[in-house]
Amino acid sequence: MPAGKHMIIKSSKELKSLYNELAPGDIFLGTLTYKHLKQSVLIDLLERGISCLPSPLSQTLNNSKAAQALVLKKWMLPHTYAITRRIDLIDTINLYNRQGIGPVVTKEDQLHCGHGIRKWDSVEALYSLVALSRNSYPFVIQPFLENFTDVRVIIVGDYIEAYERYNPHNFRMNIASGGKTRAYELDNNKERFCRQVMRRGKFPFAHLDLHVIDKSEYYLSEISLDGGIKGANLSRKELEQKKQDLLVRMAEAS
């Protein structure tokens, strides 16, 4: 579909059929579906002057918790690190021991729904296991939070809603891990916080998970372009339509 002299590509099937015909200024709307070539395709499109909405950065962060811990560390719980090799973990052991940090949590890089979240009594216990396998990397490590409120925030343009996820029987608050939901009133400061994170990661829309300790202390846990909406006030179909409409408006305004 033309936008002025440029094309707006709205499906992966169309992108693949026209891939080598694309020219600078053309725009692809949607997330890439090249399973093993996604990073290569994103780089190629960037080098050729072809725009992607959502942005290549947001798509990259969406696919990697470790990348989020690197790029969005400023908004995360203090002493959150992306561990990519053994020396990173050894350095973190030294830092945690100096800080008196005991139990820790790790997040497997590309495992979702709370299934990749693991608690360790100490960072040394973690090292004793992962040091035996190169396949453990990368992962995210951070101090274990005993008490916090887990809040899911959905933002698409001017649309915003939030709800709390809780599970009295499991520190994993995800709905898929047995958690429940209840309404949560997001104040202006937390909304600004979320939008700052989105601007840094160039997310046009986002599902954000926050660790809220009190009214003045809260941190980013994770961010994604898509996620579960059990507990939200709108349907999946309504949400996807809002996202698509926003991308089209952005493309037409570019």
3-class state of residue 244 by DSSP: helix
CB 169 within 8 A of CB 217: no
User: Could you tell me the fold of the domain covering 78-143?
Assistant: Dna Ligase; domain 1 (3.30.1490)
Where in the chain are all domains bearing CATH 3.30.1490.20? 78-143
Instruction: Provide the 10 A C-beta neighbour count for residue 175.
Output: 17
What is the per-residue pLDDT for 178?
63
User: Nearest-CA neighbor of 101 among 87, 120, 88?
Assistant: 120
What is the rounded average pLDDT of the residues 132-152? 88
- Percent of the chain surpassing pLDDT 90: 69
What is the rounded average pLDDT of the residues 31-49? 92
Helix H or strand E encompassing 103: none
- For 177, the token pair is 């891990």
The CATH class, in words, for 149-253 is: alpha beta
- For 19, the token pair is 């891939």
What is the per-residue pLDDT for 224?
96
Where in the chain are all domains bearing CATH 3.30.470.20? 149-253
Return left, alpha or beta for 79; rule: phi > 0 is left, psi -120 to 50 is alpha, else beta.
left
